[in-house]
Amino acid sequence: MTIGKSFVAPALPDPPGLYEVRQQNELNRALRLYFNRLDSYIANTILDALNGGVGGNGITFPHIAASDAGPQYAGGDDTPTLVTWDTLTSGYLWTLNSPGSATAAVAGVYTIRYSLQFANSANAIHDAVVWLKVNGVDAPNSATYFTVPARKSSGSPSYTCGYSEATFSINAGDEIELYWATDLAYNSTGPVDGVYIFSDTAQTSPFVRPAVPSAIGSISYVSALPPA
């Protein structure tokens, strides 16, 4: 619900030189009408917007949540590679762009949270690093390293959940991207063992579980931009 300015304070009558009951009654009437409207506005508009009828569910903040259903491979060893997203889970005042960026419609301070399902098919420990870009420029202090253990056995990779978050300020129209790189990139056309972002479909055996996305992420509104 959009909260608008539906009325303004009344123009109060000018006071006479001497006290008059009629003038005082006019003043009281103007003030009573104004405060009656103010009470009604607060009860029926502001509180409805905040509460939504039940416990605050009327509040809607700018946000976006997305995931990706397929595996993701780095462009090569030590090569920055865009994290892709193919499914919009929820979004308000954000646009998900193919293959892997999001555009904000509202300026503010936001927090991004992500989970990347790293896998390592090599028989040695390797690292992956993930960071944020805003309008194609690396966001300061946004990078996180993840160490992925050596594979469990040939054909059975190890897994690491690469979870982190970063808080940043943006303007309306800014574009957000997540990038990653690894010191040893898996190559599916070799195949050459290494690190990649794993995904899997839902399974029914030996137990039932949902699909494993390669990437899960969200961007949440924190506050308006501080005054300049």
E strands within the chain? 63-68, 81-82, 87-92, 94-97, 101-104, 108-120, 126-134, 137-138, 144-148, 158-170, 175-182, 195-197, 215-223
Confidence of residue 2 (pLDDT cuts 50, 70, 90): very low
Mean pLDDT of 80-88: 98
| pLDDT tens per residue across span 164-220 | 999 999 999 999 999 999 999 999 887 789 999 999 999 999 999 999 999 999 999
pLDDT at res. 10: 76
In whole angstroms, give the CA distance from residue 148 to residue 160. Answer: 6
Q: What's the residue count for the chain? A: 228
- Give the pTM: 0.79
Euclidean distance between CA atoms 125 and 194, whole angstroms = 9
Q: Cα–Cα distance between 125 and 26 in angstroms, integer?
A: 83
d(CA 26, CA 24): 5
Structure tokens at 7: 């009325």
Q: In this structure, is the dihedral angle defined by the CA atoms of residues 69, 70, 75 and 76, taken in order, positive or negative?
A: positive
Helix (H, G, I), strand (E, B) or coil at 223: strand
Reply yes or no on whether the pLDDT at 55 is more than 90.
Answer: no
Instruction: List, for residues 114-162, the tens digit of each pLDDT value.
Output: 999 999 999 999 999 999 999 999 999 999 999 999 999 999 999 999 9
Distance CA 107, CA 171 (A): 4
> What pLDDT, on the 0 to 100 scale, is given for residue 3?
47
Kindly report the CA angle at 98 between 97 and 104, in degrees rounded to 5?
15
Please state, for a pLDDT cut of 70, what percent of the chain lies above it.
Answer: 90
Beta bridge mates, 127: 147
Residue 26, classed as helix, strand or coil, is helix
Of 164, 194, 175, nearest to 71 by C-alpha is 194
CA atoms within a 13 Å half-sphere pointing along the CA-CB vector of 121: 16
Higher-pLDDT residue of 194, 40: 194
Residue-level pLDDT at 7? 64
* Structure token pair of residue 96: 């998900």
| Omega of the bond leading into 191 within 30 degrees of 0 (cis) | yes
Is it the case that residue 102 has pLDDT exceeding 70?
yes
Per the CB < 8 A criterion, the answer to whether 114 and 165 are in contact is: yes
